[in-house]
A = this chain, B = another copy of it.
Amino acid sequence: MKTISINRSYGGTQGVYSHVAETTNCEMTFAVFVPPQAENRKCPVLWYLSGLTCTHANVIEKGEYRRAAAEHGIIVVCPDTSPRGEEVADVADDWQIGKGAGFYVDATQAPWSQHYKMYSYITRELPELIAANFSSPDAGADMSRQGIFGHSMGGHGALTIALKNPETFRSCSAFAPIAQPSTADWSNGTLAQYLGEDPANWREYDATLLIEDGKRFPEFLADQGTADQFLDKCNPQALETACANAGIPLTLRMQEGYDHSYYFISSFMADHIAWHAERLK
Protein backbone atom coordinates (compact mmCIF):
# COMPACT_ATOMS: atom_id res chain seq x y z
CA MET A 1 0.00 0.00 0.00
CA LYS A 2 1.35 3.41 -0.99
CA THR A 3 0.45 6.62 0.81
CA ILE A 4 -0.44 9.35 -1.68
CA SER A 5 -1.36 12.05 0.83
CA ILE A 6 -2.20 12.55 4.50
CA ASN A 7 -3.85 15.71 5.82
CA ARG A 8 -4.95 16.53 9.32
CA SER A 9 -8.67 17.27 9.37
CA TYR A 10 -11.15 17.68 12.22
CA GLY A 11 -8.60 16.29 14.66
CA GLY A 12 -8.17 13.10 12.62
CA THR A 13 -6.43 12.30 9.36
CA GLN A 14 -7.70 12.15 5.78
CA GLY A 15 -5.46 9.82 3.83
CA VAL A 16 -5.37 8.78 0.19
CA TYR A 17 -3.69 5.50 -0.68
CA SER A 18 -3.10 3.17 -3.60
CA HIS A 19 -2.34 -0.49 -4.01
CA VAL A 20 -2.13 -3.09 -6.73
CA ALA A 21 -5.39 -5.02 -6.46
CA GLU A 22 -5.65 -8.67 -7.41
CA THR A 23 -9.41 -8.66 -7.97
CA THR A 24 -9.41 -5.76 -10.43
CA ASN A 25 -5.96 -6.58 -11.74
CA CYS A 26 -4.77 -2.96 -11.63
CA GLU A 27 -3.63 -0.20 -9.30
CA MET A 28 -6.53 1.15 -7.22
CA THR A 29 -6.78 4.38 -5.24
CA PHE A 30 -8.91 4.85 -2.13
CA ALA A 31 -9.37 7.29 0.74
CA VAL A 32 -9.63 6.64 4.49
CA PHE A 33 -10.61 9.16 7.15
CA VAL A 34 -9.44 8.13 10.60
CA PRO A 35 -11.11 10.07 13.43
CA PRO A 36 -9.17 11.09 16.54
CA GLN A 37 -10.89 8.42 18.66
CA ALA A 38 -9.24 5.65 16.60
CA GLU A 39 -5.89 6.34 18.22
CA ASN A 40 -7.11 4.94 21.53
CA ARG A 41 -9.97 2.61 20.80
CA LYS A 42 -11.62 0.47 18.16
CA CYS A 43 -13.91 2.44 15.84
CA PRO A 44 -16.62 1.31 13.41
CA VAL A 45 -15.94 1.40 9.66
CA LEU A 46 -18.37 3.10 7.30
CA TRP A 47 -18.03 2.53 3.56
CA TYR A 48 -19.05 5.28 1.14
CA LEU A 49 -19.57 4.18 -2.47
CA SER A 50 -19.54 6.98 -5.05
CA GLY A 51 -21.65 7.52 -8.13
CA LEU A 52 -21.09 7.53 -11.89
CA THR A 53 -18.07 9.54 -13.15
CA CYS A 54 -16.64 9.89 -9.64
CA THR A 55 -13.34 8.76 -8.17
CA HIS A 56 -12.52 8.58 -4.44
CA ALA A 57 -11.83 12.34 -4.63
CA ASN A 58 -15.31 13.80 -5.14
CA VAL A 59 -16.65 12.86 -1.74
CA ILE A 60 -13.47 13.77 0.14
CA GLU A 61 -13.67 17.26 -1.41
CA LYS A 62 -17.43 17.84 -1.44
CA GLY A 63 -19.06 15.28 0.84
CA GLU A 64 -18.53 17.08 4.17
CA TYR A 65 -18.43 13.82 6.12
CA ARG A 66 -15.39 14.39 8.31
CA ARG A 67 -17.00 16.63 10.92
CA ALA A 68 -19.68 14.07 11.74
CA ALA A 69 -17.27 11.15 11.45
CA ALA A 70 -14.92 12.85 13.91
CA GLU A 71 -17.81 13.63 16.22
CA HIS A 72 -19.06 10.03 16.28
CA GLY A 73 -15.67 8.32 16.03
CA ILE A 74 -16.22 6.56 12.73
CA ILE A 75 -13.62 5.52 10.16
CA VAL A 76 -14.86 6.34 6.64
CA VAL A 77 -13.49 4.44 3.63
CA CYS A 78 -14.08 5.85 0.14
CA PRO A 79 -13.08 3.55 -2.72
CA ASP A 80 -12.84 4.40 -6.41
CA THR A 81 -15.77 3.52 -8.70
CA SER A 82 -14.00 1.30 -11.23
CA PRO A 83 -10.68 -0.19 -12.22
CA ARG A 84 -8.24 2.32 -13.72
CA GLY A 85 -5.32 2.39 -16.10
CA GLU A 86 -4.54 2.41 -19.80
CA GLU A 87 -5.01 -1.34 -20.14
CA VAL A 88 -8.53 -1.24 -18.66
CA ALA A 89 -11.46 -1.53 -21.11
CA ASP A 90 -13.52 1.62 -21.58
CA VAL A 91 -15.96 3.25 -24.00
CA ALA A 92 -14.95 6.72 -25.11
CA ASP A 93 -17.54 9.42 -24.53
CA ASP A 94 -19.92 7.17 -22.57
CA TRP A 95 -19.93 7.95 -18.85
CA GLN A 96 -22.42 5.18 -18.07
CA ILE A 97 -20.06 2.28 -18.78
CA GLY A 98 -16.38 1.54 -18.22
CA LYS A 99 -14.12 3.74 -16.13
CA GLY A 100 -16.03 5.59 -13.43
CA ALA A 101 -18.98 3.26 -13.98
CA GLY A 102 -18.05 -0.06 -12.40
CA PHE A 103 -21.53 -0.45 -10.88
CA TYR A 104 -20.01 -2.56 -8.07
CA VAL A 105 -20.53 -5.79 -10.02
CA ASP A 106 -18.21 -8.64 -10.97
CA ALA A 107 -18.31 -8.56 -14.78
CA THR A 108 -18.50 -11.92 -16.49
CA GLN A 109 -18.30 -10.80 -20.13
CA ALA A 110 -15.24 -9.90 -22.24
CA PRO A 111 -13.59 -7.45 -22.34
CA TRP A 112 -14.98 -6.27 -18.98
CA SER A 113 -14.30 -9.41 -16.99
CA GLN A 114 -10.54 -8.81 -17.06
CA HIS A 115 -10.67 -5.87 -14.62
CA TYR A 116 -14.26 -5.00 -13.69
CA LYS A 117 -14.51 -6.99 -10.44
CA MET A 118 -15.64 -4.18 -8.19
CA TYR A 119 -17.99 -6.38 -6.15
CA SER A 120 -15.15 -8.65 -5.05
CA TYR A 121 -12.84 -5.69 -4.61
CA ILE A 122 -15.23 -3.86 -2.29
CA THR A 123 -16.53 -6.83 -0.34
CA ARG A 124 -13.33 -8.85 0.01
CA GLU A 125 -9.99 -7.39 -1.08
CA LEU A 126 -10.24 -3.82 0.19
CA PRO A 127 -11.70 -4.82 3.60
CA GLU A 128 -8.73 -7.18 4.06
CA LEU A 129 -6.35 -4.33 3.25
CA ILE A 130 -8.16 -2.01 5.67
CA ALA A 131 -8.07 -4.62 8.42
CA ALA A 132 -4.36 -5.23 7.83
CA ASN A 133 -3.33 -1.56 7.70
CA PHE A 134 -5.76 0.43 9.83
CA SER A 135 -6.27 -1.81 12.80
CA SER A 136 -4.42 -2.92 15.90
CA PRO A 137 -5.69 -5.11 18.77
CA ASP A 138 -6.85 -2.12 20.84
CA ALA A 139 -7.36 0.69 18.31
CA GLY A 140 -8.22 1.55 14.74
CA ALA A 141 -10.73 -0.20 12.51
CA ASP A 142 -13.24 -2.54 14.13
CA MET A 143 -14.17 -4.80 11.22
CA SER A 144 -16.92 -6.41 13.30
CA ARG A 145 -18.84 -3.12 13.11
CA GLN A 146 -19.26 -2.02 9.50
CA GLY A 147 -21.86 0.10 7.77
CA ILE A 148 -22.22 1.05 4.13
CA PHE A 149 -23.76 3.91 2.20
CA GLY A 150 -23.39 5.65 -1.11
CA HIS A 151 -24.78 7.91 -3.80
CA SER A 152 -26.66 7.04 -6.99
CA MET A 153 -24.70 4.15 -8.57
CA GLY A 154 -22.97 3.91 -5.17
CA GLY A 155 -26.32 3.94 -3.39
CA HIS A 156 -27.28 1.00 -5.56
CA GLY A 157 -23.95 -0.59 -4.66
CA ALA A 158 -24.53 -0.07 -0.94
CA LEU A 159 -28.05 -1.54 -1.03
CA THR A 160 -27.06 -4.61 -3.03
CA ILE A 161 -23.88 -5.26 -1.05
CA ALA A 162 -25.77 -4.92 2.25
CA LEU A 163 -28.56 -7.24 1.08
CA LYS A 164 -26.03 -9.88 0.03
CA ASN A 165 -23.83 -9.49 3.13
CA PRO A 166 -26.11 -8.81 6.10
CA GLU A 167 -23.67 -10.60 8.39
CA THR A 168 -20.93 -8.09 7.48
CA PHE A 169 -22.87 -4.84 7.51
CA ARG A 170 -24.99 -3.65 10.41
CA SER A 171 -26.35 -0.53 8.69
CA CYS A 172 -27.07 0.70 5.18
CA SER A 173 -28.29 4.00 3.77
CA ALA A 174 -28.29 5.75 0.42
CA PHE A 175 -28.49 9.14 -1.28
CA ALA A 176 -30.60 9.00 -4.45
CA PRO A 177 -29.80 5.35 -5.12
CA ILE A 178 -30.47 3.73 -8.47
CA ALA A 179 -33.12 1.48 -6.96
CA GLN A 180 -33.73 -0.76 -9.96
CA PRO A 181 -30.70 -0.69 -12.27
CA SER A 182 -31.96 -3.54 -14.42
CA THR A 183 -34.81 -1.38 -15.73
CA ALA A 184 -33.22 2.10 -15.57
CA ASP A 185 -32.09 3.23 -19.02
CA TRP A 186 -28.70 4.47 -17.79
CA SER A 187 -27.72 1.11 -16.36
CA ASN A 188 -29.49 -1.80 -18.02
CA GLY A 189 -27.36 -1.50 -21.17
CA THR A 190 -24.24 -1.52 -19.01
CA LEU A 191 -25.42 -4.55 -17.01
CA ALA A 192 -26.02 -6.34 -20.32
CA GLN A 193 -22.44 -5.66 -21.37
CA TYR A 194 -20.90 -6.56 -17.99
CA LEU A 195 -23.11 -9.57 -17.19
CA GLY A 196 -24.52 -10.78 -20.51
CA GLU A 197 -27.81 -10.15 -22.29
CA ASP A 198 -29.98 -12.41 -20.12
CA PRO A 199 -31.71 -10.15 -17.53
CA ALA A 200 -31.76 -13.09 -15.12
CA ASN A 201 -28.02 -12.49 -14.64
CA TRP A 202 -28.64 -8.94 -13.50
CA ARG A 203 -30.92 -9.80 -10.60
CA GLU A 204 -28.15 -10.28 -8.08
CA TYR A 205 -27.06 -6.67 -8.67
CA ASP A 206 -30.49 -5.07 -8.46
CA ALA A 207 -31.66 -4.05 -4.98
CA THR A 208 -35.36 -4.37 -5.71
CA LEU A 209 -34.98 -7.77 -7.38
CA LEU A 210 -32.67 -9.07 -4.66
CA ILE A 211 -35.45 -8.26 -2.19
CA GLU A 212 -38.00 -9.93 -4.49
CA ASP A 213 -35.70 -12.97 -4.54
CA GLY A 214 -35.71 -13.16 -0.75
CA LYS A 215 -32.71 -11.13 0.42
CA ARG A 216 -33.37 -9.16 3.59
CA PHE A 217 -31.77 -6.37 5.63
CA PRO A 218 -32.92 -4.95 8.98
CA GLU A 219 -33.78 -1.46 7.67
CA PHE A 220 -32.76 1.21 5.19
CA LEU A 221 -32.54 5.00 5.19
CA ALA A 222 -32.69 6.80 1.83
CA ASP A 223 -32.80 10.49 0.88
CA GLN A 224 -34.03 11.56 -2.54
CA GLY A 225 -34.21 15.12 -3.89
CA THR A 226 -37.49 16.07 -5.54
CA ALA A 227 -35.63 18.29 -8.05
CA ASP A 228 -33.20 15.51 -8.96
CA GLN A 229 -32.63 15.63 -12.73
CA PHE A 230 -32.36 11.80 -12.63
CA LEU A 231 -35.40 11.16 -10.43
CA ASP A 232 -37.08 8.79 -12.92
CA LYS A 233 -33.87 6.78 -13.29
CA CYS A 234 -33.35 6.54 -9.52
CA ASN A 235 -36.94 5.36 -9.14
CA PRO A 236 -37.31 5.47 -5.35
CA GLN A 237 -40.89 4.16 -5.66
CA ALA A 238 -39.51 0.81 -6.84
CA LEU A 239 -37.46 0.54 -3.65
CA GLU A 240 -40.42 1.63 -1.57
CA THR A 241 -42.65 -1.03 -3.13
CA ALA A 242 -40.06 -3.78 -2.80
CA CYS A 243 -39.39 -2.95 0.87
CA ALA A 244 -43.10 -2.70 1.64
CA ASN A 245 -43.81 -6.09 0.07
CA ALA A 246 -40.91 -7.67 1.97
CA GLY A 247 -41.60 -5.99 5.29
CA ILE A 248 -38.23 -4.21 5.32
CA PRO A 249 -38.50 -0.88 7.18
CA LEU A 250 -37.47 1.88 4.78
CA THR A 251 -37.21 5.51 5.78
CA LEU A 252 -37.47 7.28 2.42
CA ARG A 253 -37.21 11.05 2.77
CA MET A 254 -38.20 13.07 -0.30
CA GLN A 255 -36.16 16.27 0.08
CA GLU A 256 -37.93 19.25 -1.46
CA GLY A 257 -35.97 21.15 -4.09
CA TYR A 258 -32.75 19.15 -3.85
CA ASP A 259 -30.98 17.86 -6.96
CA HIS A 260 -28.54 14.98 -7.61
CA SER A 261 -25.35 16.86 -6.71
CA TYR A 262 -23.02 16.96 -3.73
CA TYR A 263 -24.92 20.06 -2.58
CA PHE A 264 -27.70 17.55 -1.85
CA ILE A 265 -25.46 14.84 -0.43
CA SER A 266 -23.52 17.16 1.90
CA SER A 267 -26.76 18.67 3.24
CA PHE A 268 -27.82 15.30 4.67
CA MET A 269 -24.42 13.69 5.22
CA ALA A 270 -24.38 14.41 8.98
CA ASP A 271 -27.85 12.86 9.32
CA HIS A 272 -26.68 9.66 7.66
CA ILE A 273 -23.50 9.40 9.69
CA ALA A 274 -25.42 9.94 12.95
CA TRP A 275 -27.89 7.26 11.83
CA HIS A 276 -25.08 4.79 11.13
CA ALA A 277 -23.30 5.74 14.36
CA GLU A 278 -26.42 4.83 16.34
CA ARG A 279 -26.47 1.38 14.74
CA LEU A 280 -22.72 0.78 14.90
CA LYS A 281 -22.29 1.60 18.59
Interface residues as binary, A217-241 with B (CB distance below 8 Å gives 1, 0 otherwise): 0000000010100000000000000
Is A67 touching B8 in the complex (CB atoms < 8 A)? no
Is A261 touching B7 in the complex (CB atoms < 8 A)? yes
CA distance A9 to B257 in the complex (A): 9
A8: which of B7, B62, B227 is its contact (CB, 8 Å)? B227
Known A67-B270, A270-B67: A8·B263 in contact at CB below 8 Å: yes
A67: which of B64, B257, B258 is its contact (CB, 8 Å)? B64
CA distance A270 to B258 in the complex (A): 23
CA distance A94 to B263 in the complex (A): 33
Whether A168 is near chain B, meaning CB under 8 Å from some CB there, is no
Question: A11's closest neighbor in chain B, by CB?
Answer: B267
By a CB distance below 8 angstroms, the chain B residues around A257 are: 8
Whether A53 is near chain B, meaning CB under 8 Å from some CB there, is no
Tell me if A's interface is mostly helix, strand, loop or mixed. mixed
By a CB distance below 8 angstroms, the chain B residues around A108 are: none
CA distance A258 to B13 in the complex (A): 10
Categorize the interface residue count of chain A: 20 to 34
Is B227 touching A258 in the complex (CB atoms < 8 A)? no
Is A263 touching B7 in the complex (CB atoms < 8 A)? yes
Whether A264 is near chain B, meaning CB under 8 Å from some CB there, is yes
CA distance A264 to B10 in the complex (A): 8
Whether A55 is near chain B, meaning CB under 8 Å from some CB there, is no
CA distance A227 to B259 in the complex (A): 38
Whether A113 is near chain B, meaning CB under 8 Å from some CB there, is no
Known A8-B227, A61-B61, A227-B8: A66·B266 in contact at CB below 8 Å: yes
List 26 interface pairs A-B (beta carbons < 8 Å), by A numbering: A7-B259, A7-B261, A7-B263, A7-B264, A8-B225, A8-B227, A8-B257, A8-B258, A8-B259, A8-B264, A8-B267, A9-B263, A9-B264, A9-B266, A10-B267, A11-B267, A14-B263, A61-B61, A62-B62, A64-B64, A64-B266, A66-B266, A66-B267, A67-B67, A67-B266, A67-B270
Sort A-B residue pairs by CB-CB distance and give the 7 closest, nearest first.
Answer: A7-B263, A9-B263, A8-B257, A10-B267, A8-B258, A64-B64, A61-B62
Known: A8-B264, A9-B266, A64-B64. 13 other contacts (CB 8 A): A7-B261, A8-B225, A8-B258, A8-B259, A8-B267, A9-B263, A9-B267, A10-B266, A14-B263, A61-B61, A61-B262, A64-B67, A67-B266
